[in-house]
Structure 1
Amino acid sequence: MRKLAFQYPNLISTYLLVVCLPIFSLFAQSNRPEPVFGFYQGGYYLTYLQGETNYTGGSLIQTEKNYQNGLQAQANLGVTPVKMIGTFPFPNGIPLTKDKVQAGDTLKVSMEYGLTDHIGFFISYSVVSIKSQGSNQIALADPKNPNGYTTYIEAVPIGHKIYRDRNYGMGLNYHFLYRNRFDPFVGLELSVLNFESKYRNGQQNNLFYPTDTHPGTGIGGRVTFGTNYFITPEFGLSIEVYGSRKILKSNAFSSESINLAGFQFGFIFNLEAMGKN
């Protein structure tokens, strides 16, 4: 009996442990904070996007178009002969390939902080480019010509990146929903930028008409509409469409403009949620 009496405390302790442990576990789980999806005050969001951009207007590309139209007119009127490549002859009556301004590439990385449950402040770095294809004008040394050279137009078009820039921006996003997997937003961004442009003005230089790359600086504005979808509190997908206007200056021109529209797709990371885990 005395031995059994000494075992009672151990039996009672074991019984309490078996009964209370599940209760304590349920209580701990009920007090654990629920994972937070979406945008909210105090969150830090890193976004990486890639996509395509298209030229929609502005004087910079129009200058290139005017140059190309001038070459077309010279060829059609017979003012300037047309060659295939170099001095190889080009069949008469075949029109030149028209200039094309094609889609370019775009990339954006941004860091956003939730000032409130609906407003976020962000800084960004983005790269935009535009591709072009068109004819080229060549000046060939010709001692028989009083000018000392003869000009002709190459029928085979050349292709190049007519414009490329690097933007350093900041702005605000307004998020329509908060603490939600689905996170639609609109944004406004202002930026300073460095750019390189193939700027052709038709002026002869050293017996050829160059397609020089001219560097410069500028300022830009951008309006964005997009949405994020959070697969987990820490990670999601992001889609953006945007329109932008940029005012440019370089050693080749005092002021030109370019307007762009683009689509981007990528990923978003909630760094604040990652820190909790």
Structure 2
Amino acid sequence: MRKVFKHSSQVTSIFVIFFCLLSTTIFSQTQKPEAVYGFYKGGFYMSTLGGETAYIGGSLIQREQAYQNGLRTQATLGVMPVRMIGVLPFPQNFPLPNDKVQAGNTRRATMEYGLTEHIGLFISYSTMSVVAQGNNQLAYPDRNSPNGYTNYVEAVPLTNTLYKDRNYGLGLNYHFLSRNKFDPFIGLEVSILNFDAKYRTGQLNNLYYPTYTHPGTGIGGRVALGMNYYVTPEFGFSLELFGSRKILKSNAFSSEAINHAGFQFGFIFNLDAIGKY
């Protein structure tokens, strides 16, 4: 009787041990890893941003501004008459509308991979545009003029896209904190770009001084200081302050430049974390 009871106790002990081992194995297989926030080695990040350009400059912008200032000066001094559309007389001593050159919205998308706990390699695609509002220089037939025509400034300003581009970039970000909800970083980027630019040649064409649109290519450099904040391991918000310089070339000019700086705000997604936690 004692032998039977002893044998039964051994079987029960073995069954309990087996059940504990099986439960531990199943629990370890179903338990999810601890959630990790922020930037880390092996993370794969996608961000989309948009914003405003606070500063715009460079030789291409200066050229357009100089052209507008020249027309305004000639009109003010009476060297060149001012007329409405269709060469209708324009009231004397009536000021011309102010000309403007301003940058439009910027758009940017990046894909970044964590090479180390602090350094990320990224590729990017971004766009930027510049809008200009100003007067045109025209001409009308004039038999009393030696040239057979007389120049004039058209009083009604026109608004057009002075410049727009598409940038394809490659760069590095340095992330000051790793595995943290707050992710401050600094980034450097080089890019190639395609652009379309309005370019005034000053050449008369059928009593009109046209502003041609010229396509071209260029190279650019960009520096950014930013902050990512992760609401969840998979999703967060992103803010960037940036500055950029672009060197341009087209069939109309050998070299012009555009500089711009501003801020962008958007969203960031950690693709490596999606479905893991």
Q: TM-score range by the shorter chain?
A: 0.7 to 0.9
**Which 4+ stretches in 1 moved above 6 angstroms?**
none
TM-score w.r.t. structure 1 length? 0.87
Give the counterpart letter for 2:170 in structure 1: M
Work out the CA distance in 1 between the residues paired with 2:275 and 2:120: 19
Give the counterpart letter for 1:108 in structure 2: R
Name whichever of 101-110 and 171-180 sits farther off: 101-110
In the alignment, which residue of structure 1 is the partner of 2:78?
Answer: 78
- C-alpha root-mean-square deviation of aligned residues, in Å? 2.8
Listed one character per residue, the Cα deviations across residues 221-266 of structure 1 (whole Å, up to 9, x for unaligned) are: 0000111111111111111110000111111111111100121111
Identical aligned residues as a percent: 66
Question: After superposition, where does 1:88-237 map in structure 2 within 5 Å?
Answer: 88-237=88-237
Work out the CA distance in 2 between the residues paired with 1:196 and 1:142: 35
Task: Please state whether the residue corresponding to 1:199 is helix, strand or coil.
Answer: strand
Listed one character per residue, the Cα deviations across residues 17-64 of structure 1 (whole Å, up to 9, x for unaligned) are: xxx8xx969x75996421111100000000111111244321111111
Following superposition, the deviation at residue 69 of structure 1 comes to 1.1
Is 1:234–1:271's contact at 8 Å kept on the other side of the alignment?
Answer: yes
Work out the CA distance in 2 between the residues paired with 1:141 and 1:273: 71
Give the counterpart letter for 1:98 in structure 2: N
Q: Which runs of 5+ in 2 are unaligned?
A: 1-7
Q: Which runs of 5+ in 1 are unaligned?
A: 1-7
Work out the CA distance in 1 between the residues paired with 2:234 and 2:271: 7
In the alignment, which residue of structure 2 is the partner of 1:69?
Answer: 69
Work out the CA distance in 2 between the residues paired with 1:249 and 1:32: 54
Following superposition, the deviation at residue 93 of structure 1 comes to 0.7
Work out the CA distance in 1 between the residues paired with 2:41 and 2:123: 17
Work out the CA distance in 2 between the residues paired with 1:275 and 1:174: 26
Task: Please state whether the residue corresponding to 2:86 is helix, strand or coil.
Answer: coil
Listed one character per residue, the Cα deviations across residues 132-177 of structure 1 (whole Å, up to 9, x for unaligned) are: 1111111223445332222211112111111101001100000111
Following superposition, the deviation at residue 96 of structure 1 comes to 1.8
Matched pairs, number: 266
Following superposition, the deviation at residue 123 of structure 1 comes to 0.4
